[in-house]
């Protein structure tokens, strides 16, 4: 049973997340030969104030 965790900033729509998990599931299934029913995708959304790049919070950019 493959488990995939996707970490991304908050703000995506439910439709975008649905498309993401469908495509990730298909890619994992095709690559490792696991049935799609066994592929688990976990989305972890982060607040923009919880991520910094180059010393600046994403919420400040």
Catalytic residue list: 2
Which phi-psi region, left, alpha or beta, contains residue 58 (left: φ > 0; alpha: ψ -120 to 50)? alpha
Tokens encoding 10: 């908050």
How are beta strands 52-53 and 3-9 bridged, if at all? unpaired
């Amino acid at each position: 049973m493959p488990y995939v965790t996707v970490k991304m900033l908050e703000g995506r729509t439910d439709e975008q997340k649905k498309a993401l998990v469908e495509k990730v599931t298909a890619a994992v299934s095709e690559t490792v030969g696991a049935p799609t029913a066994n592929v688990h995708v976990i989305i972890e959304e982060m607040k923009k104030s919880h991520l910094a790049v180059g010393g600046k919070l994403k919420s400040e950019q």
